[in-house]
Structure 1
Amino acid sequence: MTTHPGPDDPYRDADARYLEREAELHAPFLEQAAARLRDLALHGDHTLARVDRILDLGGGPGVASCLLARYFPNAEVVAGAPSTALRVRTGVRARREGLGHRVRTHRVDLPADLGALGSADLVWAGDVVHHLGDQQAALDSLARVLRPGGVIAVVERGLSPRFLPRDIGIGRPGLQARLDAAHEDWFAELRATLPGTRAAVEDWPAMLARAGLVPTGSHSFLIDLPSPLDAAPREHLHAELTQRRALLADRLDAQDRATLDALLDTDAGTGILWRPDAFYLAATTVHTARACTRR
């Protein structure tokens, strides 16, 4: 999740559009995850009789919120986000899909505002916990929100997207591996500056258990779009590389910066918008746990 802090809103509309396009690209994974959550919540052992209330705390543009509303047709979905731009996009999408009466938005700055959202049968925490300084404390708070028998889905990590061959014919081979390494260093430094930050072994099932929940498994979902890519994923990759170029420029050498510039050239055949060898392959992992039926 890329953030651009501002005085009033942590996301500009362009950033919100980037996240929306990414979520749309990941829609097949979200569909599979929602179906799996429905089976876990309503058809497995210790099931809920029904799911009446869902909290989507991913801070996204409404793609996950609307999918969850469709898979749980009795539920009210509360989409929590700190950003006006994201909340607006969520509302527009919900109305467009005929879900405006069940999907509502709420301004949320985590973890401070979590208590104001009320309890839920299902919590979706999509790529949000790692942005909070004390990840264990965040999971502890999320556990307290769950109603007895309720289910939480924590989306964290997986495998970084791959979208080009190792050797792309320009620059040094292995560009994506170096981008990943530079991003990991940047993110480690970012986490060190978060309020109340605490180091933690990111064993998510163990952390959920320490929060008083019963882990119910981890599942990775594959997103596999082979070459040649359609326009929408190419546009997303162009936006992603643009952000990486701005974010990591001082961590890359001159040759890698030049390679990124060639990939971002909208007119050249070497650019990501036109390359015939561009693809999109990623895996996203969802960790689930259940609240005890008696608390």
Structure 2
Amino acid sequence: MSRHHDHGHHHDDTHMDWTHMMPLLEQGAQLQSPLYRQAAAWLGELVPTAAVRRILDVGSGPGVLSCLLAEAFPYAEVVAVDATPELLERARERARAAHLGDRVTTRRAELPDGIAGLGDADLIWAADSLHHLGDQRGAVAGLAGLLRPGGLLAVVEGGLPTRRLPQNIGFGRPGLEARLDAVHAEWFAEMRAELPGAKEEADDWRALLSGAGLVPSGTRSFLHDVPAPVPGAVRDQILTAFTRGRDALGERLAPEDLATLDRLLDPAEPQGLHQRPDLFMLTARTVHTARRG
């Protein structure tokens, strides 16, 4: 996972329970839909929309972005690719509800072994999925091999850590979210090291795309900015993320930070997440693109 999945990823050690995380994944993607619509519109400038007939959404999760891509590319079949059956079922439900069921299909595949069997595509979208694969360079090469001539690979990795709280929240040590990021980074490194076939790789996505024989066609970051006071749905998502973060990282946190988190999560605490008026949500997602010549 990346920090953009929030600290709310539930895990046992470094194991990811994607079914348990489905509400957080779905809610987070829905809230950030304006950002991803901007990204999809940009992709439509890089490849002719009418020429995109098949899209692979690799690591689709519950299908929020699969449906968004289907709306942005109205002539395309979108294949939501994931290893978790419950997430794919939710993607099918979402597509049916959006009247996209005839254009959004699902494919269960374990990555990276299942990449070769996904079939060719005009556009491949891989958002926060490649960092879950031990050999990212090999995975990029595999996806590049599926692109039709002129096809585009879009990799969503990196950006900025999500911020939801002021630097000084009025109790505890200032800078809580930065320290949570640091603890999460340690966990992330352990998760990466334990992946099958794990290889150390710098996060130079332009170089990885070029190394796969593709021609880089631009990198852009897209802002998600919800200022205070946040609407109820955003507050709920913040509560969920911090609750999952406390469960997942609690044993790694300094006692003072753990006490601060518990106070933030207390519904009766006037300065807690349930009641404080200064909550916001600010982050950025980075999309790296390259095309097959």
TM-score by length of 2: 0.93
Contact 1:79-1:106 within 8 A present in 2 as well: yes
Give percent identity, aligned residues only. 52
Offset of 1:156 from its aligned partner? 0.1
Q: CA deviation at 1:10?
A: 4.4
Q: Per-residue deviation at 1:91?
A: 0.8
Matched residues in 1 for 2:172 and 2:186: separation? Answer: 22
- Alpha carbons 1:215, 1:289 under 8 Å: kept: yes
Question: What is the CA-CA distance between 1:274 and the residue it aligns to?
Answer: 1.6
Number of corresponding residues? 283
Three-state SS of the structure 1 residue aligned to 2:18 is coil
Post-superposition offset of 1:39: 1.2
**Higher normalized contact order (CA 8 Å, seq sep 6+, divided by chain length):** 2
Counterpart residue type for residue 41 of structure 1: V
Partner of 2:194: 193
1:13-32 to 2 correspondences below 5 Å: 14-32=20-38
Matched-pair contact (CA < 8 Å) for 1:51–1:121? yes
Instruction: Report deviation, 1:11.
Output: 2.5
Aligned to 1:283: 284
Helix, strand or coil for the counterpart of 2:154?
strand
Counterpart position of 1:34: 40
- Partner Cα separation in structure 1 for residue 239 and residue 227 of structure 2: 17
Partner AA of 2:210 in structure 1:
A
Who is 2:5 aligned against?
A: none
Moved more, 84-93 or 17-26: 84-93
Structure 1 CA distance for aligned equivalents of residues 122 and 153 of structure 2: 8
SS of the equivalent of 1:105 reads strand
Q: What is residue 46 of structure 1 aligned with on the other side?
A: none
8 Å CA contact 1:4–1:11 kept in 2: the answer is no
Rounded Cα–Cα distance in structure 2 between residues aligned with 1:267 and 1:174: 23
Partner Cα separation in structure 2 for residue 74 and residue 15 of structure 1: 32
Q: Who is 1:176 aligned against? A: 177
What one-letter code is carried by the residue in structure 1 that aligns with 2:24?
Y
Ranges of 4+ aligned residues in structure 1 off by more than 3 Å:
1-5
In structure 2, C-alpha distance between the alignment counterparts of 1:161 and 1:219, rounded to whole Å:
17
1:1-295, aligned counterparts within 5 Å?
1=1, 2=9, 4=11, 10-12=17-19, 14-42=20-48, 50-292=51-293
- Asked whether the equivalents of residues 60 and 81 of structure 1 are also in contact (C-alpha less than 8 Å), the reply is yes
- Over aligned residue pairs, what C-alpha RMSD do you find? 1.4
So what's the TM-score if we normalise by structure 1? 0.93
Tell me by how many angstroms 1:273 deviates: 2.3
CA displacement at 1:58 relative to structure 2: 2.7
Distance in structure 2 (CA, Å) of the matches to 1:111 and 1:59: 14
Residues 82-122 of structure 1: CA deviation (Å, up to 9, x unaligned): 11221111111111111000001111111011112101000
What SS class does the counterpart of residue 111 from structure 1 fall into?
coil
Structure 2 portions without partners, runs of 5+:
2-8
1:216 is paired with a residue of what secondary structure? Answer: strand
Equivalent pair of 1:58/1:127 in contact (CA under 8 Å): yes
Q: Which runs of 5+ in 1 are unaligned?
A: 44-48
Alignment-mate amino acid for residue 20 of structure 1: E
